[in-house]
Chain A
Amino acid sequence: MSNRVFAVVAFAVAIAFAAASQLIPNEYYFTAAYIVLQFVILATAWNILGGYTGYVNFGSAAFFAIGAYSTVVLYNAYKAPLPVMIVAGTLVAGLAGLGLGYLTLRLRGVFFAIASLALAVVLYTFVVNWDYVGGARGAYVLQPRETPFGLRRYIHLLYIAMVLMAAVSLIVARVIEKSTIGRGLAAIRDDELAAECSGVPTLRLKIFSTMVSCALMGMAGTTFPFYLSFIEPSSAFSLSYAVNSIAMPLIGGMMSWIGPLIGAVLLGTVQQLVQVTISSAWNLLIVGVLLVLFVTLAPNGIMGWVEAWRRRRRR
Chain B
Amino acid sequence: MEASTALVVNAIIAGLLLGGFYAAVSVGISISFGMLDVVNIAHPAFIILGSYVAYIVNATFGFDPIVVAVVLSPLFFVLGMALYRIYYLCFEKRGQESLRGLAFFFGILFITEVILVLVFGVDYRMVNTVYGDVTWRAGEIDFPMRLVVPFLVSITMVVGVQLFLTHTFFGRAVLAVAQDQLALRLMGVNPVRVKELAFALSIATAGVAGAFLIIIQPVQPAIGREYIGLVFAVCVLGGMGSIWGTLIGAMVLGTAESFTSTFFGPSWAPAVSFGLLLATLAFRPSGLLGR
A residues lining the B interface (CB < 8 Å): 50, 54-56, 58, 103-104, 107, 109-111, 113-115, 117-119, 121-122, 124-126, 128-129, 136, 239, 242-243, 246-247, 250, 281-282, 284-285, 287-289, 291-292, 295-296, 299
B residues lining the A interface (CB < 8 Å): 33, 39, 41, 86, 90, 94, 96, 98-100, 102-104, 106-108, 110-111, 114-115, 117-118, 225-226, 228-229, 232-233, 236, 265, 267-268, 270-271, 274-275, 277-278, 281-282, 285
Question: How far does the alpha carbon of A114 sit from the alpha carbon of B104 in the complex, in Å?
Answer: 15
B272 to A: closest C-beta gap in Å: 9
**A-B contact list, 14 entries, CB within 8 Å:** A104-B282, A109-B98, A110-B33, A114-B232, A118-B233, A119-B278, A121-B274, A243-B110, A281-B114, A281-B118, A282-B118, A285-B111, A288-B114, A289-B111
6 closest pairs, A vs B, by CB?
Answer: A125-B271, A118-B274, A292-B107, A288-B111, A291-B107, A288-B110
What chain A residues lie within 8 Å of B226 (beta carbons)?
Answer: 121
Question: How far does the alpha carbon of A111 sit from the alpha carbon of B226 in the complex, in Å?
Answer: 17
What chain A residues lie within 8 Å of B117 (beta carbons)?
Answer: 281
Nearest opposing residue in chain B for A290, CB measure: B107
Q: With A117-B229, A125-B267 known to touch, is A295 a contact of B281 (CB < 8 Å)?
A: no
What chain A residues lie within 8 Å of B232 (beta carbons)?
Answer: 114, 118
A288 and B102: CB pair below 8 A? no
- Of the candidates A55, A124, A282, A299, the one whose C-beta lies within 8 Å of that of B100 is A299
Q: Which of A121, A243, A282 counts the most chain B CB atoms within 10 A?
A: A121
- Of the candidates A129, A243, A281, the one whose C-beta lies within 8 Å of that of B107 is A243
Q: With A111-B285, A121-B225 known to touch, is A58 a contact of B106 (CB < 8 Å)?
A: yes
Q: With A285-B111, A285-B115 known to touch, is A118 a contact of B277 (CB < 8 Å)?
A: yes
What chain A residues lie within 8 Å of B282 (beta carbons)?
Answer: 103-104
What chain B residues lie within 8 Å of A292 (beta carbons)?
Answer: 104, 107-108, 111
B111 and A115: CB pair below 8 A? no
What chain A residues lie within 8 Å of B107 (beta carbons)?
Answer: 243, 247, 288-289, 291-292, 295
A292 to B: closest C-beta gap in Å: 4
| Known interface pairs A119-B278, A246-B106; 13 further A-B residue pairs with C-beta atoms within 8 A, sorted by A's residue number | A50-B99, A56-B98, A109-B98, A111-B281, A114-B281, A118-B278, A121-B229, A121-B270, A126-B271, A128-B267, A239-B110, A296-B86, A299-B94
Q: Determine chain A's interface SS by DSSP, over half rule.
A: helix
A48 to B: closest C-beta gap in Å: 14
What chain A residues lie within 8 Å of B229 (beta carbons)?
Answer: 114, 117-118, 121
What chain A residues lie within 8 Å of B225 (beta carbons)?
Answer: 121, 239
B114 and A284: CB pair below 8 A? yes
Question: How far does the alpha carbon of A128 sit from the alpha carbon of B264 in the complex, in Å?
Answer: 14
Q: With A111-B281, A285-B115 known to touch, is A56 a contact of B271 (CB < 8 Å)?
A: no
What chain B residues lie within 8 Å of A115 (beta carbons)?
Answer: 277-278, 281
Nearest opposing residue in chain B for A297, CB measure: B90
What chain A residues lie within 8 Å of B96 (beta carbons)?
Answer: 299
Question: How far does the alpha carbon of A126 sit from the alpha carbon of B270 in the complex, in Å?
Answer: 10
- Of the candidates A114, A121, A281, A287, the one whose C-beta lies within 8 Å of that of B271 is A121
B111 to A: closest C-beta gap in Å: 4
Nearest opposing residue in chain A for B264, CB measure: A129
Q: With A122-B278, A128-B267 known to touch, is A291 a contact of B110 (CB < 8 Å)?
A: yes
A56 and B99: CB pair below 8 A? yes
A314 to B: closest C-beta gap in Å: 25
Question: How far does the alpha carbon of A107 sit from the alpha carbon of B290 in the complex, in Å?
Answer: 15
What chain A residues lie within 8 Å of B41 (beta carbons)?
Answer: 58, 113-114, 117
Nearest opposing residue in chain B for A121, CB measure: B274
What chain B residues lie within 8 Å of A107 (beta carbons)?
Answer: 281, 285
A59 to B: closest C-beta gap in Å: 11
B82 to A: closest C-beta gap in Å: 13
B100 and A285: CB pair below 8 A? no
B110 and A284: CB pair below 8 A? yes
Question: How far does the alpha carbon of A246 sit from the alpha carbon of B228 in the complex, in Å?
Answer: 17
B262 to A: closest C-beta gap in Å: 16
B209 to A: closest C-beta gap in Å: 19
Question: How far does the alpha carbon of A194 sit from the alpha carbon of B125 in the complex, in Å?
Answer: 51
Question: How far does the alpha carbon of A117 sit from the alpha carbon of B42 in the complex, in Å?
Answer: 13
B114 and A113: CB pair below 8 A? no
A103 and B278: CB pair below 8 A? yes
Nearest opposing residue in chain A for B231, CB measure: A114
What chain B residues lie within 8 Å of A58 (beta carbons)?
Answer: 41, 106
A250 and B103: CB pair below 8 A? yes
Q: With A115-B281, A121-B229, A243-B107 known to touch, is A295 a contact of B100 (CB < 8 Å)?
A: yes
Nearest opposing residue in chain A for B265, CB measure: A129
A7 to B: closest C-beta gap in Å: 29
What chain A residues lie within 8 Å of B110 (beta carbons)?
Answer: 239, 243, 284, 287-288, 291
